[in-house]
Structure 1
Amino acid sequence: MTQYSDVAAPAVDAPAPVRDSGKAPAGRLIGLDLARGLAVFGMYAAHVGPDPDQRGVTGFLMELAHGRSSALFAFLAGFAVVLITGRRTPKTGRAGRQAVAKVVIRAVILLALGTALTMSGIPVDVILAFYGLYFLLVLPLYRLSSGPLAAIAAGTALVLPQVLYVVQQAIGDSAVRSPGEPDGIVSLLFTGTYPALTWIPFVIAGMAVARLDLAATAVRTRLAFTGAALMITGYGGSWLALHVFPGAADAISTSAA
């Protein structure tokens, strides 16, 4: 095994060196902290910030915060599940059981807090109860590697929104939660502001990314290109549907009414 005896040990506060393999030593994921901060500020902007309908830079930024910050929150929920249960290798035995218990306890606390805030009549859409349910729904997948998790995320992203549409049509408008009404299981799964059927794919995608070797430059590069490709596909497909295919906008408006 190669020795590095001629390399002086770095100072405590100095950044650790990066080897030729392109991997940084294991440590705190700064990008994860930045994503968490962005999600929190985005949720604040969406709930208590200026109206996105106003013109200019402020309106543009507020529009970016709506929907996207909650999607980032859901993505980070999946990342958190993997961090707790073992990021690169799932914990087993007693450690695994303790990790699962930690996730369940967090989920129950979030469900209780979210339901209490909703019942208090707070004038915002509370995501906490939904967040807790997401933890519980994806927990059985925590032993899977990044490949199967990515495949499940892609499959559920394509299928579950269609299932949700059918279920909502079957339930009817009378079951849709009104502001201030407690989040029941039907609301959490199907009719609430952040229904699990459409948000769970984000959570599973977060689990898949968390399983990757994020210290490797090649992995981060592939993630950046994959994200850009998904963004172009999503926004490009939306633009095509609304501007190229006649009647698409009217059909979407009718189905959402």
Structure 2
Amino acid sequence: MSADPAARHSPTSGTAASRIDGLDLARGLAVLGMVGAHVGDQDAWPWLAVTHGFPSALFAVLAGVSMTLMMTSRGRVRVADVAPDHARRTRIRIAVRGAMLVVMGLALALLGTPVVVILVNLGVMFWLTLPVLRVRTAWLLALASLCLGLGGYLAAKLAEAIPPDSVWGPSYPGIPIIGALWGPYYPALAWMGYVLAGVCIGRLALNVDATSLYLVGLAACGFALARLAVMGAQAAGVDAWSWWIDLTDHSYSPPKMLGNVSVAAGIIGASLWVARRARAAVWPILAVGSMALTAYVGHLIVIAAVGTEMVWEPTNAALVALWAGIVLFCALWRWRLGAGPLERWLTAWSTKAADARVPARSGPVA
């Protein structure tokens, strides 16, 4: 391997073997999709409807995939064969990363942008995943199904029962970390379904075409099932306005959640397939995905600097400019410097915490 940093991170190099290009491509699409949801003008470009709901769900699914890959050393070890010390180190790293996401999310909320920051809720979901990282896949899928099917309903009922300004409420002067479980946006009770689905996807052989095709096929079946369930319910006389068949953004109804997680699985499968065949062509998007946290935080800082009219009075000229700026910055940074700044920070501090508690004396295999 070349010692030249530029060669190490160039679009055509086969380096960064520790990363899976297809997952970076999917992450890049997720981040750019969320940016489109925040500052895009859907009235002018109706196709921007795809940026609402799906990208954030994909982001959560990929978080679950990443946690499994941390546990299994990028898929080189089966979950059942992970050494106890390695498992403890991984849990510490994930717990610390969750805490850092919560802190960043709370800090970004102080910017006053009209964007609902996902990081606090995602950090809480990191913590909730810790006890089940090595649970059997069948049980994880069952738990994910419960979250996808009933989590939105439970979150809504809790939100109704608990005043938002109480000490347990989802907003200040309450405790926002606790409120993340059932708040109106990204409630962990429902969204853990996405994360747990991602944990299961991370256990697949992500470097083979059969897995890519399997995920795409599974996604098509899941999405069709969600839509057919709605049509069947309406044909049976269920009120079209019923929450149980609501397909609007952030409804968290069972068919909406199933549709979102299906799309996420399909995008991951397609991204894995494309990245293996056209890495150079999609490399700028890979670069965005390799520093997804940096790109996400950066676009919020831009919104805060430009002004809230960027969200309330969106123009697609501004969207294209922001997309181009994100892609250019990330591509140049990865080409010259490698890992993104916030990603380096997250890795350094979480690894330092793990080293302090469980020194790296053994490999990942039991």
Q: TM (normalized to structure 2)?
A: 0.55
**Residue 125 to residue 98, structure 1, CA distance change in 2 (3 Å):** same
Out of 229, 242, 248, the position equivalent to 2:239 is: 248
1:187 and 2:179 correspond: yes
Question: Structure 1: which amino acid aligns with 2:227?
Answer: Y
Contact 1:107–1:133 under 8 Å retained in 2: yes
1:153 and 2:144 correspond: yes
SS in 2 for 1:223: helix
Aligned 1:1-257 pairs, distance under 5 A: 28-50=19-41, 52=42, 54=43, 58-60=45-47, 62-86=48-72, 87=75, 88-90=77-79, 91-171=82-162, 177=170, 184-241=176-233, 243-246=234-237, 248-252=239-243
**Residue 41 to residue 95, structure 1, CA distance change in 2 (3 Å):** same
**Residue 33 to residue 183, structure 1, CA distance change in 2 (3 Å):** farther
Contact 2:36–2:51 under 8 Å retained in 1: yes
Rounded Cα–Cα distance in structure 2 between residues aligned with 1:187 and 1:78: 21
| Greater mean deviation of Cα atoms: 96-105 or 149-158 | 149-158
Rounded Cα–Cα distance in structure 1 between residues aligned with 2:240 and 2:215: 32
Show CA shifts across 1:47-79 (max 9, x none). Answer: 1222x3x15xx222x211111111001101101
Q: In the alignment, which residue of structure 2 is the partner of 1:5?
A: none
| Greater mean deviation of Cα atoms: 231-240 or 200-209 | 231-240
Cα drift, residue 183 of structure 1: 6.2
| Superposition CA RMSD, Å | 2.9
The answer to which structure, 1 or 2, has the higher relative contact order (CA under 8 A, 6+ apart) is 2
Cα drift, residue 252 of structure 1: 3.5
Rounded Cα–Cα distance in structure 1 between residues aligned with 2:237 and 2:164: 28
Rounded Cα–Cα distance in structure 2 between residues aligned with 1:145 and 1:30: 27
Structure 1: state its 5+ residue gaps.
1-12, 16-25
Question: Structure 2: which amino acid aligns with 1:66?
Answer: H
Rounded Cα–Cα distance in structure 2 between residues aligned with 1:173 and 1:134: 21
Rounded Cα–Cα distance in structure 1 between residues aligned with 2:90 and 2:243: 43
Show CA shifts across 1:13-53 (max 9, x none). Answer: 898xxxxxxxxxx8742221111001110111111222x3x
Contact 1:146–1:209 under 8 Å retained in 2: no
Contact 1:183–1:192 under 8 Å retained in 2: no
Contact 2:121–2:177 under 8 Å retained in 1: no
Identity percentage of aligned residues: 31
Structure 2: state its 5+ residue gaps.
1-11, 252-366
Rounded Cα–Cα distance in structure 2 between residues aligned with 1:239 and 1:173: 35
Rounded Cα–Cα distance in structure 1 between residues aligned with 2:32 and 2:67: 22
SS in 2 for 1:211: coil
Rounded Cα–Cα distance in structure 2 between residues aligned with 1:212 and 1:146: 11
Rounded Cα–Cα distance in structure 2 between residues aligned with 1:209 and 1:198: 18
Cα drift, residue 222 of structure 1: 2.4
Cα drift, residue 109 of structure 1: 0.6
Contact 2:156–2:184 under 8 Å retained in 1: no
Contact 1:118–1:181 under 8 Å retained in 2: no
Question: Structure 1: which amino acid aligns with 2:55?
Answer: S
